[in-house]
Structures are given as C-alpha cells and as structure tokens.
Structure 1
Amino acid sequence: MLRGFYTATTGMMAQQRKQEVLSNNMTNALTPGYKQDQTALRAFPELLIQRMENQNIPASTQSKVRTMTEIGAINTGVYVQETIPDFAQGTLQQTEMTTDFALVQGETPDENGSVFFTVQNGEGEVRYTRNGNFTVDGEGNLTTNQGFYVLDTNGNTINTDGLEFELTPEGILQLDGGAQIPLGLAYSNDANQLQKNGDDLLELGEGADPLVDARATAGLQFNVQQGYLENSNVDTSETMTAMMEAYRAFEANQKVIQAYDRSLDKAVNEIARLS
C-alpha cells in the first residue's frame, strides 16, 4: 500500500512540474521570439512481481520444491525527464520600428536546425536569441531590451550612431555614412542542444556542437525583416487545454492518495484495534 502512496505522489509532482512549464509558456505568450517549452514524462523502471510457493512432489519422502510464478509488472511512478524548447517559427508582427528585426527561416540542411541573433550578455559571453526587439543605447550601440550588446559577424558590438539605418534581407545594416555591418547570425544544426539562460538568451549545452555562420551554411534559407517582430510560438488556447489536463491528472493522483490514506486509517484504527 505504501508503494501506491509513492507512485501517486510522483504523479502529482510530475504534473506540478508540467503545470509550471505551461504557466511559464503562457506568461511569455507575448514575448517576441519566445519558444515554448515542452515536457517529456518518463516512467520509473517497472518491478516484476512473482509469487513464491512450495509445490509438493508425490513421493515417499514428501519432498517440496520451491517455485516462482510470474504475476506481472507494477509501475513505480513517473517523472519529468527533461524540458525541451520548441523552435518552430512564430508568426510575424509589423511594428514599423527600425530597430525591430525578425528572423524568417526557410529550409534548413538539418531537421532541427535554426538561426539565431548573436548577442553578448552582461559577463561578456556570447549568447543567442530569436528576440529581435532591439534598441539603441545612449552611446549609439545596438542592444537588446535588457541592455545586452548585439554583435556583428566578427563578434564585435555594433554602433549605428542613431536610428537612421536600413537592414537588408541578408541581415546587413546599411548606415547613413555608407558603412555596411553584417549582423552576427549563427546557425545551430540541432537547436535542441541549446539551453535557455534567462533574459530570452540561449547558450550551448554540454557537449553541444558550436554554432556556425548562418550565411556560410549551404542549403540554409532565411531572411531578416526590418520593422517586424517574430511572435512567440505559444498557442494560448492549446496551452490552456494542456493546463486543465495537467490539473485534472494532479487531482486524480490526489484522490488516489486520499483513498490510500483512508484505507490505512481503517487498518490502523479499526482492524488492528485490540478488543
């Protein structure tokens, strides 16, 4: 009976974790370039149940042989194995702001390949993002809304000296003085190897393949649109339905635990009562 307690409890914990992920997706439904997370649930290893018994052998010695009969398997619970971002392309929203960029991805040479803007976080480390909601700081540098520098293809910061510039579909900034600065656009052959790092940034996971220059990748089709933002790929109605399903599953496991609790109470306080 106690094993049933543990099994139902793991179910509640898994659904609670799933609910947290779904809630975070819903919270970021309006965040440009946000990629929703998906949870992968996995069951703990099953246990094989066998019945052990003695079988009498018809002989003068009255011998007994111990036998084991397989009854079946019992599941020991479930857990959230991993959280995987979904890098599907989001819809575009026109803003007419010169500092808003949207990556539009076409065919890729890899099934899970994806293109990202290259930025520099507060510690000076290279990170990646799909959120093109950029701005220009007081020194004329192109930055994210969190103040992180947007990098060019050589890993240097980009100084636009104002808001008067144009962006080509190839991702090249054309400044008033005639200078042309290519944005740092990185390509990952497996975006699932990237990990979310907060502030809409992504970093390389352990053992992940390094990102390469998107423009130098054969078979990759993409363009960058100025004055547009990529919306998140969160489907709010689908997410709300999934949240309700997770809540019902949590509630079902909760009722199982309550039933076990009533059974234990009866066993301890009624059946085992001394007369």
Structure 2
Amino acid sequence: MLKGFHTAGAGMMANQRYQDSLSNNMSNALTPGYKQDRSSFRAFPEMLIQNMGSENIPTQNGGLNLPKNHIVGPINTGVYMQEDQPLFEQGDVRDTGISTDLALQNGDLPDETGTLFFEVQNGDEEVRYTRNGNFTVDAEGFLTTNEGYYVLNEDGERIQTGTEEFEVSADGQVTSPFDNTAIGLAYHPNANDFVKEGDNLFRNEGEEAAVDARGADGVNFQVHQGQLEWSNVDPQESMSEMMRSYRMFEMNQQVVRMFDQSMELASNQIGKLR
C-alpha cells in the first residue's frame, strides 16, 4: 500500500512540475525570440516481486524443507520529470518597422540540431547568446538588449552606432554614422548544449565552442531589420497540455485519497481491539 502512495505521489509531483513549465511557456508566448521548453519524463527503476515460500521434499529421514522463490513480475514505482529542454524551432518573423529590431532567420544548416544566435555580453562581461533581436540604443550610443546587455560584433567588441538611424544588411553588416561593423552571429552544431540563463539568454555548456556563422561551412541565414522573430510557443497546444496535465494530477490525487482511506480503515477498524 505504501508503494501505491509513493507511485501516485510521484505522479502528482511530476505533473506539478510540468504545469510550472507549461505556465512559463504561456507567460512568454509574446516574448520575442523565446524558445519554449519541452519536458521529458522518466520512470523510476522497476522492482522485481518474488513470492518467497518453501517446498517439502520427502527423504528417508522424514523430509527436507527447502526455500523456494517464485517470480511474480516487475512493478513500476512511478515517474518523474527529468528536465526541460529548449525547443530551437524557428519562430514567426513579423514586421515592427523599428530600426533597432533585428530578426535572425535560419537558412540551410549543415546539422539537424544546429542553430544560430546573436552574441551579447552579460553583466559579468561574459559572452552569452540570444535569439531576441528586440534591441535598443543606450545613452552612450551602444546597441544593447532591452535588459541593457551589450550586443557584440564579430570581433567580440561592443557595437556603438551612436544613433538609432543605422542600417543592417541581410548578412548582418551594420552601417552607421559612427561605425561600420558586422554584428556577432554564432553557430553551434548542437543547440542541446545550450541552457537558459534568464533574460532570454543562453549559455553554452558543451565542450564544443560556437563559431562565427559567416565562416561556418554550409550555414545560411538572413538578418531582417525592422522585424522580430516571435516566440515559438503554440498557445493552443500549451493550453491543451495544461488541461491534460491537470487531469492527470487529479487522477493521482484521487488514488492518494483512496489509499489514505484504506489505511485509515486498516488502522482504525480492522486493527481495533474488541
């Protein structure tokens, strides 16, 4: 009975975590460049049940009692949500008419799991990656994200346009009255090595470093000025998953309540002294 408690409780916790993940996707459905999380579930190790008995073998001295185990079969002990993995599918590209908005559109890529990023500098002056091209120009004329992180060029230096009146070509070349440079675009063959760090930034935790997208063989892309890549969250699909997950949570909750009632009956009624 306690195993049933554990199995149903594990199902409730897994669906609660799944609900949190889906809610985060829904809350970022309108965030430019946001990549939705896909949750993966795994089962706890199965347990093998055996029936432990004995067998009496007749002998000249009256008989021999030997232990005999009979395998009943395996029993599952529940599931858990293993991790959230960003889904790096291309989001819709939409017009904004704002010169500081840039959309990075994937072309043909040599690797099935490969993807492209803008390069930015976080608050600790470390290189991070983003698909959110909702940029702006700060008081000193530097191109930054809305959170104030500096956008980098292909040499890893900050881009200073000096004004919002600048032009960006399809290959990411920035032309402004203050400076002419190329916006930093990184390519990595395995996007699964990237983890979310907050503020729509990604950190590379793989052993292989990202490379300049312009020099990578077989990598094609386009940078669209005055446009933004939208989130790849499908609100209808996410809402359907939230409803399904909630119903699974309720089912496990009912199982826990049933076991609780059974244990109450066993402890208060069956075991009552008369």
Could you say which residue in structure 1 is the equivalent of 2:174?
173
Structure 1: runs of 5 or more not aligned = none
> Counterparts of 1:158 and 1:262 in 2: how far apart (Å)?
66
CA shift digits 1:68-88 (9 cap, x unpaired) = 111011111211111100000
Are residue 182 (structure 1) and residue 182 (structure 2) matched? yes
TM-score w.r.t. length of structure 1:
0.97
Aligned CA-pair RMSD: 1.0
CA shift digits 1:184-235 (9 cap, x unpaired) = 0001111111010000000112x44211101111011111000100000000
Aligned to 1:13, the other structure's residue is in SS state: helix
Aligned to 2:91, the other structure's residue is in SS state: coil
Percent identity, please. 52
Are residue 50 (structure 1) and residue 50 (structure 2) matched? yes
On the 8 A contact 2:162/2:177 being kept in 1, the answer is no
Are residue 267 (structure 1) and residue 266 (structure 2) matched? yes
Could you say which residue in structure 2 is the equivalent of 1:256?
255
> Counterparts of 1:209 and 1:265 in 2: how far apart (Å)?
57
On the 8 A contact 2:100/2:136 being kept in 1, the answer is yes
Could you say which residue in structure 1 is the equivalent of 2:91?
90
> Counterparts of 1:250 and 1:175 in 2: how far apart (Å)?
55
Could you say which residue in structure 1 is the equivalent of 2:135?
134
> Counterparts of 1:176 and 1:123 in 2: how far apart (Å)?
29
Are residue 211 (structure 1) and residue 210 (structure 2) matched? yes
Could you say which residue in structure 1 is the equivalent of 2:163?
162
Quote the offset at 1:176 in angstroms: 3.3
CA shift digits 1:128-186 (9 cap, x unpaired) = 00000000011110000001100000110000010111110001101236x42100000
Which AA in structure 2 matches 1:77? G
Aligned to 1:147, the other structure's residue is in SS state: coil
Quote the offset at 1:106 in angstroms: 1.5
> Counterparts of 1:176 and 1:202 in 2: how far apart (Å)?
31
> Counterparts of 2:215 and 2:70 in 1: how far apart (Å)?
63
Aligned to 1:262, the other structure's residue is in SS state: helix
Structure 2: runs of 5 or more not aligned = none
Which AA in structure 2 matches 1:235? D
Q: Give 1:17-28 correspondences, 5 Å limit.
A: 17-28=17-28
Could you say which residue in structure 1 is the equivalent of 2:121?
120
On the 8 A contact 1:194/1:208 being kept in 2, the answer is no
On the 8 A contact 1:164/1:175 being kept in 2, the answer is yes
> Counterparts of 1:164 and 1:261 in 2: how far apart (Å)?
68
TM-score w.r.t. length of structure 2:
0.98
Are residue 235 (structure 1) and residue 234 (structure 2) matched? yes
Between 90-99 and 168-177, the greater mean CA deviation after superposition? 168-177
Could you say which residue in structure 2 is the equivalent of 1:196?
196
> Counterparts of 1:70 and 1:263 in 2: how far apart (Å)?
27
Q: Give 1:1-40 correspondences, 5 Å limit.
A: 1-40=1-40
